[in-house]
Amino acid sequence: MTEHSNGGRGAIVIGGGLAGMLAVTALLGHVETVTVVERDRYPEGRAFRKGVPQARHLHVLLSGGSLAMEELLPGTVAALGEAGARGLYLSRDLLTRTPTGWQRRFDERRHRSLSVTRPVLDSVVRERALRAAAESATRVEVLEATEATGLTGDAGQVTGVRVRSRDGARGGRSERELSAGLVVDASGRGSRAPQWFAELGRSAPQEESVDAGLAYATRMYRPKDPDTAPDAGVTIPGWPECPRGAAYVPVEDGNWLAILSGVRGDHPPTDAAEFTAFSATVGDPYIHELLAQAEPQSPVHAFRDTRNRRRHFERPGALPEGLLVLGDAACTFNPIYGQGMSVAALGALAVSGTLAAGGGLRPGVTAEAQRAVARTVEPAWLTAVGADRPYASPDDATAGLGERLSSWYLDRLAARAAIDPVVGAAFRDVLSLTAPPTRLVAPQIALRTVFLPRHPALPSPPVAIEAI
């Protein structure tokens, strides 16, 4: 049985997570109805749910992402603040240990990253997206506990989604079809779009993958004495000679999330005692010392599949009419760079812009919107795979000359950025996804990067904040 015969004027969003809710926002006013198909039932309150397993881990929203979210859903940044999100200016409020020492701590206010647990972030965005929907001309319905099992249509045109209820309600577990003029796949890193393409008789999109083999372990802590808690988050990313890393960052309610990471052969443990021991083996003992002044608040949670994987739905002929792919379903990143949520927001903003510029749904608009989404993915992808290349496995896509050059240059630039406010500002603009990577090769930045000497950074975590 096929439901929702408003077909051409309705949209279906697969996945009611972050990208899904931002996709709903982008579609408001452009379609008559949006049906969100979400596998989970949303929990009471701002709690963890199974459909977003990575939500146990630290999620920092970069300023590029929060600006995009704010544009799509005005008031979201303030609402996150009210929910307890901590605003961290880079570099003032996040101390970073690099291979050459600790970065200097500048009183720079260009990039305010937001740090909050993922269940809180998702709930705030969902509440605001559904409120915006209620005030718009578009009718939005969320089908919870409903799983998308495939696409309907043919090789050239997607016409809807096959769904199955997961809790026996609404017709038991039998499948039914929902029709729509537009389907958005926002089902996250587990998206089955390639298999669904095969069922429609078309080939899967080209896929690129670069896997640093990084694994994560995360534990929540609370400082024993809040008065002596550090006044800044700390990150000690691994580097090729020392591939173990750690971060310790404040979130809401006076809690802090500690993450440990390591590439192949150096994976962090999930055992509580070993977790603490591993924290002493990263590139600097500072986080290990801070953990000794805090009480654990949770077990250790692990996450292993952290590869960068990009599906090129934007390439000519790669996408059937009527389908758009957003968020992790299109591209996942090594989470250590904190880009995925921001890229999802920038992608949704790009969809909104394409629909607004072209007068809503019309033939060819999905391909155009997908190209716009891909343009938002590109800078983050270049940064992540450039930095991960030294750890990549032989099965990965090989690095072209451009990428090899950018790895060499980025390495030099990162060392310079640790001590130089001018190069540092440009570096943070690009890492925060507010400026394109070309900012890093602007003459002033390139000259300082290539010709100024590689002085070591600071020997210990900086306390003083330097004026700029």
Among 14, 180, 260, 324, binds ligand FAD (CB under 6 A): 14
Among 341, 387, 392, 414, binds ligand FAD (CB under 6 A): 341
Q: Considering CB under 6 A, how many residues would be counted as binding ligand FAD? A: 38
Tell me if 345 contacts ligand FAD by CB under 6 A.
no
Cβ at position 53, least distance to ligand FAD in Å: 8
Cβ at position 45, least distance to ligand FAD in Å: 16
Nearest to 237 by CA among 259, 270, 264: 259
Cis peptide bond upstream of 91, omega within 30:
yes
Residue 40 vs 70, nearer CB to ligand FAD: 40
Cα gap 280→20, rounded to integer Å: 39
Tell me if 147 contacts ligand FAD by CB under 6 A.
yes
Among 11, 12, 18, 415, binds ligand FAD (CB under 6 A): 18
Tell me if 216 contacts ligand FAD by CB under 6 A.
yes
Site string for ligand FAD, 268-307 (x = CB under 6 A): -----------------------------------x----
Tell me if 340 contacts ligand FAD by CB under 6 A.
yes
Cβ at position 254, least distance to ligand FAD in Å: 20
Site string for ligand FAD, 386-425 (x = CB under 6 A): ----------------------------------------
- Of the listed pieces 311-319, 324-332, 364-372, 443-451, which binds ligand FAD according to CB under 6 A? 324-332
Residue 10 vs 338, nearer CB to ligand FAD: 338
User: In the block, which residue shows the tokens 């603490």?
Assistant: 276
Token output for 420: 């130089």
Tell me if 140 contacts ligand FAD by CB under 6 A.
no
Cβ at position 79, least distance to ligand FAD in Å: 18
Site string for ligand FAD, 34-53 (x = CB under 6 A): ---xxxx----------xx-
Give residues with Cβ within 8 angstroms of 273, minimum separation 6: none
- Of the listed pieces 59-67, 269-277, 380-388, 432-440, which binds ligand FAD according to CB under 6 A? 59-67
- Assess contact for 275 and 290: CB atoms under 8 A: no
Cβ at position 57, least distance to ligand FAD in Å: 4
Cβ at position 194, least distance to ligand FAD in Å: 13
Among 10, 15, 233, 347, binds ligand FAD (CB under 6 A): 15
Give residues with Cβ within 8 angstroms of 132, minimum separation 6: 25, 28, 73
Q: Binding residues for ligand FAD, per CB under 6 A?
A: 14-20, 37-40, 51-52, 54, 57-61, 147-148, 186-190, 216, 303, 327-329, 335, 338-342, 344
